[in-house]
Amino acid sequence: MTNVKGILAGYSKELDSHIDKFLPFEKPDNLMEATVQYPRAGGKRMRPAMVLAAAGAVGGNKEDAIPLAVAIEYIHNFTLIHDDYMDGDEKRRGMTTIHVKYGGPTAILAGDALFARAFEVIAHLNVPDSVVRGVLKIVTRAVWDLARGQQMDVNNENGEEVTMDEYIETIRLKTSVLFAAGAAGGALIGGADSRTVDAVHEYAMLLGVAFQMFDDVLGLVGDPVKLGKSVGNDVRKGKSTVMVTHALKSIKDQSVMSEFRSILGKANASEDDIRKARKIMEDAGSVDFAVKMAEDYTRRAIAKLDVLSPGEDKEFMIALAEYAMKRDV
Amino acid sequence: MTNVKGILAGYSKELDSHIDKFLPFEKPDNLMEATVQYPRAGGKRMRPAMVLAAAGAVGGNKEDAIPLAVAIEYIHNFTLIHDDYMDGDEKRRGMTTIHVKYGGPTAILAGDALFARAFEVIAHLNVPDSVVRGVLKIVTRAVWDLARGQQMDVNNENGEEVTMDEYIETIRLKTSVLFAAGAAGGALIGGADSRTVDAVHEYAMLLGVAFQMFDDVLGLVGDPVKLGKSVGNDVRKGKSTVMVTHALKSIKDQSVMSEFRSILGKANASEDDIRKARKIMEDAGSVDFAVKMAEDYTRRAIAKLDVLSPGEDKEFMIALAEYAMKRDV
């Protein structure tokens, strides 16, 4: 059986030296320190791993795809820096966030700098010019969509109730598109034909939805210690996750509904409030519903890979989709 | 004599339709409104004009360079949106700034979206793939430098006194690099050889310094009505402009020096304070010094254009450099 965590750790180790190589230290110091902090800090590195696996799975040379893997990780980190500032989050993976440590302006600029460097790395890819252009088209479109998805999320968190379809569209834009751009870009660099590039793109779009949906589940019922953050924050923000939308449609008892609504969006909800809201959603079958829906997306994602020849990179991509649903962090 | 304002107005009109064409309205509405506001609002459009003029001046087809002109204008506007938020400015060209109208998160995202779209437009340039890669290298490097320059400016405004050389380096990074990327990119699209691309790049780097230095002069001695903003804000921020640095080295009288220092960096300095500081700098010869220095940069910029064959686009580029020093706004 494919050891996803082990393979991710291997990719992560390989990437670390390249992450630094493409971020030479220039003036001013405070901007550079802010720029390198998140990329150096690690994380699951799922996105860059997907770039490399896709390049290999289509029969290409993974080495050629390393700069794109780094660029996708920079883009992911640029969005984290900006998101943390927007959300006013003070901690990420146990570290003080950039805007708290260096101030808001530096957080904005560090994100912008990483964004620019990501595309500079793409410009220098050691592949034919036509492939650079193709990768550029895919990745620029993804970043445009990321901004749209993040704005939808902001609007949603400002209490605008959305339908389940709208929430899934938000996830697609906010999370899936970068997975998909990485996978499709990797496949393109690996020399895949357009049908294969499209299939790999769709795989990653579906996987991204499953990943984010299960992330929402963990954010409610996960272990705060393992996650490194408190649970229930989506409830406090009144976010229309799949679980919340399902519960609002399913709860029949008016007193339960009014209790649920009284906690939803309550910024200072206590841990006891969160436990109550969680219990209400569990009783309404909303958590199971979200897990099943995520599983369904995972299955559909894996089916898209039928176009690929068998091999260990394909196996890893299948296992990565399953891992999105099995992880505890 | 070349009518710079008239030619700029002509380019501006031509660009307007393209500015909109490359920004199709997608969801969510608030992000899209925030994204289009600055690009639609106009301004001097010096940067895109320089892209087109450079393409023409090297004997190329200006039509091919229009998307890059638009992309450079998007990048300029993305930096304005982020800068206005960082600086807490409430007005730009008489309009309410994005972060005031739509909130800080939307200002960050609208900037990010414009940034992404700029590079998407570059990806779709109707030129050979090798030229796309060349333009991408030039422009991504410029945006990285813009972030560095802006951070230096933030550090400077936070009261960190800098030398004149450091201030000029800040201007180069904050202002010149985007002029230069536009000019060099335009020349590249126009089919110029690398020696010509480099010369045009240097022309625009020097012009950018002259432009910003004269902008600082206008920000002290200009007409607030014509400028559409109050004067003396650099003094209030304690910014080490060329004039301030010169004055600090030149003032001999200790009582004058202590009065000057008491106003410099005084956030709530009155108009009377500003008049006093201005008088002190004028008496110390600091305003004349800055104007002469800017004129010298203009001369050096124009000399770089010797490599170009005579023609109306070259004439416009020369006149544009002179205009940077003659304008009143």
pLDDT of residue A325: 87
Query: What is the average per-residue pLDDT within B94-123?
Result: 97
Q: Record the tokens describing residue B83, joined without a space.
A: 């800068």
Q: Report the C-alpha gap between A304 and B224 in whole angstroms.
A: 62
Q: Which helix (H) or strand (E) holds A3?
A: none
pLDDT at position B246 is 96
Assess B132–A contact: CB distance below 8 Å, yes or no: yes
Distance CA B24, CA A284 (A): 42
A120 touches B at CB < 8 Å: yes
Q: Is B120 on the interface with A (CB under 8 A)?
A: yes
Distance CA A176, CA A168 (A): 10
Q: Closest approach of chain A CAs to the CA of B5, in angstroms?
A: 32
B236 at the A interface (CB within 8 A)? no
A324: helix, strand or coil? coil
Residue B37 has pLDDT above 90, yes or no: yes
Mean pLDDT of the region B12-20:
92
- pLDDT higher than threshold 80 for residue B114: yes
Average pLDDT of span B220-240: 88
Query: Is the model's pLDDT at B7 over the cut of 80?
Result: yes
H/E stretch holding B152? helix B129-157
Mean pLDDT on B200-216: 97
Question: pLDDT at position A139, please?
Answer: 98
- Interface membership of A311 toward B (CB under 8 Å): no
Predicted TM-score (pTM) of the model is 0.96
Q: How far apart are CA B102 and CA B241, in angstroms?
A: 32
Residue B91 φ then ψ, to 5°? -135, 145
- Report the distance separating Cα B148 and Cα B146, nearest Å: 5
- Tell me, rounded to whole angstroms, the distance of Cα B53 from its chain centroid: 17
Give A-chain residues touching B141 at CB under 8 angstroms: 116, 120
CB of A144 within 8 Å of a chain B CB? The answer is yes
pLDDT at site A206: 98
B138 → chain A, closest CA residue: A120
Task: From chain B, pick out residues whose CB is under 8 angstroms from the CB of A112.
Answer: 82, 111-112, 115, 143, 146-147
Give the number of other CB atoms < 10 A from CB of residue A296: 14
Predicted local confidence at residue B62, as pLDDT? 97
Of residues A30, A148, A154, nearest to B26 (C-beta): A148
**Confidence band of B50 (pLDDT split at 50, 70, 90):** very high
- What confidence score (pLDDT) does residue B84 get? 96
End-to-end CA distance of chain B: give it in Å, rounded: 20
Question: Does B168 touch chain A if contact means CB atoms closer than 8 Å?
Answer: no
Summarised one tens digit per residue, pLDDT across range B142-177 is 999 999 999 999 998 776 778 999 999 999 999 999
CB contact (8 A) between residue B136 and residue A123: yes
User: Among candidates A104, A32, A109, A33, which has minimal Cα distance to A78?
Assistant: A109
Q: What's the CA gap between B259 and B232, in Å, rounded?
A: 16
* pLDDT confidence of residue A56: 98
- CA separation for the pair A205, A210 (Å, rounded): 9
Task: Summarize pLDDT for B295-329 with one digit per residue, the tens.
Answer: 999 999 999 999 999 999 999 999 999 998 888 87
pLDDT at B258 over 90: yes
Q: Is B26 on the interface with A (CB under 8 A)?
A: yes
Concatenating the DSSP letter of every residue in A13-37 gives: HHHHHHHHHTS---S-HHHHHHHHH
- Interface contact flag, B108 A86, Cβ < 8 Å: yes
Interface membership of B271 toward A (CB under 8 Å): no
How far CA A83 is from CA of A86, A292, A308, in Å, comes to: 5, 29, 35
**pLDDT tens-place string over residues A64-79:** 999 999 999 999 999 9
Residue of B133, B169, B170 to mutate, testing the A interface (most A Cβ within 10 Å of its Cβ): B133
Task: Tell me the average pLDDT across B65-84.
Answer: 98
Cβ contact A147–B112 (<8 Å): yes
Q: In the 8-state DSSP scheme, what is residue B191? A: T
Give chain A positions within 8 Å (CB) of B150.
Answer: 105, 109
Per the structure block, which two tokens stand in for A41? 């800090």
Q: Do B143 and A112 touch (CB under 8 A)?
A: yes
Of A108, A129, A151, the CB nearest to B30: A151
Query: For residues B70 and B18, is the Cβ–Cβ distance under 8 A?
Result: yes
Q: Minimal Cα–Cα distance from B179 to chain A, Å?
A: 17
Residue B22 near chain A (CB below 8 Å): no
pLDDT at B204: 98
Q: Say if B148 is an interface residue toward chain A (CB within 8 Å).
A: yes
**CA atoms of A165 and B27, how far apart (whole Å):** 14
How far away is chain B from the Cα of A306, in angstroms, using its nearest Cα?
A: 31
Residue B126 clears pLDDT 90, i.e. is over it: yes
* From A109, A123, A151, residue closest to B150, measured CB to CB: A109
Q: Which chain B residue shows the shortest CA-CA distance from A81?
A: B108
CB atoms B150 and A111 under 8 Å = no
How remote is the C-alpha of B13 from its chain's centroid? 20
Residue B101 has pLDDT above 90, yes or no: yes
Residue pair B50/A174 in contact by the 8 Å Cβ criterion: no
Q: Which residue has the higher pLDDT, B45 or A1?
A: B45
As a 3-state breakdown, chain B gives helix, strand, coil percent values, each rounded to 5, of 80, 0, 20
The most confident of the ranges A232-241, B20-29, B195-204 is B195-204
pLDDT at A142: 98
| Distance from C-alpha of A285 to C-alpha of A282, rounded to nearest angstrom | 5
> A268-276: which pairs have CB atoms within 8 A and are 24 or more residues apart?
A268/A236, A269/A232, A269/A235, A269/A236, A271/A232, A273/A235, A274/A231, A274/A232, A274/A235, A274/A236
DSSP annotation of B96 reads E
Taking alpha carbons only, the member of B303, B119, B329, B120 closest to residue B211 is: B329
B228 has a pLDDT exceeding 80: no
CB contact under 8 Å between A136 and B136, yes or no, is yes
Answer yes or no: do B144 and A120 touch at CB < 8 A. yes
Inter-chain residue contact A151 with B31, CB threshold 8 Å: yes
User: In chain A, which residues have pLDDT < 70?
Assistant: 159
- pLDDT of A36: 96
Q: What angle do CA B82, B85, B90 make, to 5 degrees?
A: 130
Of B112, B128, B140, the CB nearest to A119: B140
| pLDDT at B325 (0 to 100) | 87
Sort out which chain B residues have CB atoms less than 8 A from A106's CB and list them. 151, 154
| Residue length of chain A | 329
Output the pLDDT for position A92. 87
- Cβ of residue A21 closer than 8 Å to a chain B Cβ: no
A31 interfaces chain B, CB cutoff of 8 Å: yes
